[in-house]
Structure 1
Amino acid sequence: MIDAMSRLPVFSFLWPDMLWLLAIVLMLTAGYVWLDARRRRAAVHYPALKSVGLGIRGGANWRRHVSPALTLLALTALIFAIARPQAVMMLPSRIETVILVIDLSGSMRAQDVQPSRIRAAQQAAKVLLDAQPAGVNVGVVAMAGTAALAQIPSRRKEDVATAIDRLQPQGGTALGNGLLIALTTLLPQVGNDAERLMNDDTPPKKPEASGKSAGGVAGGLDAAGSEDSVTPGSYASGVIVLFSDGENNAGPGAMQAAQLAATHGVRIYTVGVGTPEGVVLSADGWSSRVKLDEKVLKQVADATGAEYFRLEDATRLTKVYRALNARLAFDKRDQVEITALFAALGALLATCAGLLSLWWFGRVV
């Protein structure tokens, strides 16, 4: 009950001084009550006047109060509109860009997830792609020993699906590089910091709270000049989704890339593909056991204010997708002026009052 009440909008007024006009409504109400009482007294003293001018039968006397009451309510609503009401409400944020990072390392050939880790990841990525609204741009980053943008963010789902289908397993795993390429695709202005990490692993400086870090190709400034613009998970226009088994043997660490993303408010959702016990994989004359490293994937998600999911079997794609897609957008508090709502309500009530009076009594008032 308390939680439900906390979700109710909080009202305030831009011009609260105008609310003194409500005194006019109180005066008109008092005047109407006085006139009605006077008319009743006159009817008692002069019974012949009971039906004069009313045009109604005795059982419908309540009707003569409906139009005045609606008129007073309409006036009240219009006065509220004059005071310019605004409400702090929970509004869904708009995700405009989703970057899919798909691990193509040799360990993704393992078949502890059917039909294989890489195929399960591709199927999961396509399911997520198909569910995106028409206005969302989706990009694809291919990650192995190096990382590259396989598909620029696009609204053409068929192009993105084709890019996903073309991906093939390769050698090496540069988990950090893949995340950095995705981050620079989402926010080109972090390119210098990302390049520094790729070259010498030097941790980047945390950006100032000027709002510059929250812009980019996906929607501009999210909260310019506020501290929220550089807090983990505060960037509302885009997200990164990583499909990987968590192994990394090249380039900067995944946590360094995650920290850079966190300083710019970008969330990185991670989907672990594989099983913790792993499987022995034989290829090119070597054999080794490849396991799902959930620890690093959870750390990346936690550091950026996102969440980790585990994909054990392609048949469970729907369950994973529903959980993931429900979190790609999050609610945020925003202050919205609702003057038009009260103005429309006042006009509607006034119209109803006039029409009912015209229908019942043959006059507008």
Structure 2
Amino acid sequence: MSLSGFASPWWLLFLIVVAALGVAYVVVQRRRLAHTLRFTNFELLDKVAPDRPGRSRHVPVALLLVGLALLTVALAGPTAEQRVPRNRATVVLAIDVSLSMESTDIEPSRLAAAQEAAKDFADGLTPGINLGLVAFSGTASVLVSPTTNRAATKTAIDQLQLSERTATGEAIFTSMQAIDTLAAVLGGGDQAPPARIVLLSDGKQTVPESPDDPRGGFTAARQAADKGIPVSTISFGTQYGTVTIEDERIAVPVDDPSLEEIANLSGGSFFTASSLEELHGAYDTLEEQIGFETTRGDASRPWLLLGVLAVTGGLVAAMVLRQRLP
């Protein structure tokens, strides 16, 4: 751990004192031994004290010095990275409900699998996060405004209905509006709570045709980046998915490039999922990214406990081995 990892690093200078005490003890022991060798009658000493103390006599002092060193580190206030649950954040889950989500390349269908995984995602988020739900096809609608009420969100997920076309840009714009509305209602603080959009889709934007249109997905992603709202995208489906519309079988392959570009433009993460298991994995990763933040916190307790134990051990050893305190 570097010096920057301590709250009060100057306390570490006390380690010099601890080291000096260790050196002083060694010097005193050597002088005592030299004095003994010079003036002692060994024949008489063997008769009076045949069992002289061995190296174990140094154990109490060694433990006390180690304890002092550990307590010194504790006083310096060591810090460490800690994962802390977020208690104030907003997430909007935007789910594609275009007709292509009826494809059964992922059983029982893309939509049914997406609904199951989305409910698990809602349950897995830390309780303090406000979760909203947006459904989009040719238009986008806020089905549940961001709230900590997971039951409302899961009920709305169960009631998703398919419709025509795909307006990815509208989904992002609508999600940002829901985030702004909640931030205005919450008020307080100089900054709005951190927010993120999680967008699941299986196909290419069709409304408008160009993603760079003022209401297109790329334009929306750039605006989200300007507002500091990352859009994490999940491309859900396979390249061989099909749906039947008016007795005509139509190919509905996933469109990874556009969804990846949206994530890149907005500063979010991009995931692909061609099975329910992979979708669960993507959501699990997002839960870790969204639900927790890494902060530096106090890490002195282990050093303090070890220091107290070492000092206590030194005192006990002194009384047991030498029948007196050092």
Q: TM-score range by the shorter chain?
A: 0.7 to 0.9
Within the candidate set 96, 100, 108, 1:103 is matched to 96
1:292 to 254, 262, 273: 254
Aligned to 1:208: none
The structure-2 alpha-carbon separation of the partners of 1:263 and 1:123, relative to structure 1 and needing over 3 Å to count, comes to same
Distance in 2, matches of 1:340 and 1:309, equals: 39
TM-score (norm 1): 0.69
Instruction: Kindly indicate whether residue 162 of structure 2 is the aligned counterpart of residue 169 of structure 1.
Output: yes
Residue pair 1:104, 1:169 contacting (<8 A) in 2 also: yes
Corresponding residue SS for 2:107: coil
The alignment-based identity, stated in percent, is: 29
Specify whether residues 317 and 11 from structure 1 end up closer, same or farther in structure 2 by C-alpha distance, changes over 3 A only: farther
Aligned equivalent of 1:357: 318
Match of 2:56 in 1: 63
Separation in structure 2 between the aligned mates of residue 137 and residue 320 of structure 1, nearest angstrom: 21
- 1:242 CA drift (Å): 1.4
| 8 A contact 1:246–1:296 mirrored in 2 | no
Structure 1, 66-75 or 247-256: larger mean CA deviation: 247-256
The answer to whether the Cα contact below 8 Å between 1:357 and 1:363 also exists between their aligned partners in 2 is yes
Alpha-carbon distance in 1 for matches of 2:144, 2:323: 69
The equivalent of 2:3 in structure 1 is 11
Match of 1:321 in 2: 280
Work out whether residues 90 and 332 of structure 1, in 8 Å CA contact, stay in contact via their aligned partners in 2: no
Tell me the CA shift for residue 188 of structure 1.
4.3
In structure 2, C-alpha distance between the alignment counterparts of 1:161 and 1:72, rounded to whole Å: 59
Bigger radius of gyration among the two: 2
Structure 1 residue 80 and structure 2 residue 37: aligned? no
Give 1:27's aligned amino acid.
A
Mapped contact 2:98–2:166 kept (Cα < 8 A): yes
Alignment gaps of 5+ in structure 2: 209-214
Pick from 246, 257, 261 the counterpart of residue 203 of structure 2: 246
- Is the 2:100–2:242 contact (alpha carbons within 8 Å) kept by the matching residues of 1? no
Secondary structure at the aligned position of 1:271 is classed as: strand
- Contact 2:84/2:295 (8 A) holds in 1: no
Q: SS in structure 1 opposite 2:14?
A: helix
Tell me: CA distance 1:46–1:102, structure 2 relative to 1, closer, same or farther (3 Å): farther
Give CA deviations for 1:264-323 in whole Å, capped at 9, x if unaligned.
Answer: 44332222233335425314x9885544222211111222333333333xxx31233224
Flag the 1:126–1:144 CA change in 2: closer, same or farther, 3 A: same
Amino acid at match of 2:121: L
Alpha-carbon shift at residue 104 of structure 1 (Å)? 1.6
TM superposition shift of 1:324: 4.0
Matches within 5 A, 1:337-352: 337-352=298-313
1:118 aligns with 2:75: no
Matched, 1:129 2:91: no
Cα shift readout 1:145-198 (whole Å, capped 9, x = no counterpart): 33222223344443322121011112343222222232343454889xxxxxxx
Structure 1 residues 234-273: aligned runs within 5 Å: 237-250=194-207, 252-273=215-236
1:31 equivalent in alignment to 2:24? yes
Aligned-partner Cα distance in 2 for 1:102–1:73:
59
Is the Cα–Cα contact under 8 Å of residues 92 and 329 in structure 1 kept in the other structure? Answer: no
CA change 1:187–1:90 in 2 (3 A) is farther
Which residue does 2:245 correspond to in 1? 282
> Aligned partners of 2:14, 2:181: CA distance in 1, in Å?
53
What secondary structure is seen at the aligned counterpart in 2 of 1:326? helix
Match among 253, 266, 269 for residue 307 of structure 1: 269
In 2, Cα distance between the equivalents of 1:159 and 1:46? Answer: 92
1:78–1:343 contact (8 Å) kept in structure 2: yes
CA RMSD of aligned residues (A): 3.6
The residue that corresponds to 1:5 in the other structure is none
Identify if the C-alpha distance between structure 1 residues 311 and 336 changes in structure 2 by more than 3 Å, giving closer, same or farther: closer
Q: Specify whether residues 123 and 33 from structure 1 end up closer, same or farther in structure 2 by C-alpha distance, changes over 3 A only.
A: same
8 Å contact 2:117–2:283 — kept in the other structure? no
Q: Match of 1:168, SS?
A: coil
Return the offset for 1:115. Answer: 2.5
CA–CA distance in 2 between the matches of 1:238 and 1:94?
A: 14
Structure 1 residue 35: Cα displacement: 2.0
Q: How does 1:151-162 map to 2 (within 5 A)?
A: 151-162=144-155
- One-letter identity of the residue aligned with 1:261: A
Name the structure 1 match of 2:211: none
In structure 1, stretches of 5+ residues that fail to align are: 1-8, 192-210, 221-236
Contact 1:184–1:190 (8 Å) recurs in 2: no
Q: How far off is 1:142 after superposition?
A: 1.7
Residues 79-129 of structure 1: per-residue CA shift (max 9 Å, x gap) = 3344x3445x55446455442211122332333433233222212212333
Aligned to 1:233: none
TM-score (norm 2): 0.76
**Contact 1:94-1:329 within 8 A present in 2 as well:** no
Shift of 1:77: 2.9
| Counterpart for residue 212 of structure 2 | none
The farther-off stretch of 338-347 and 168-177 is 338-347
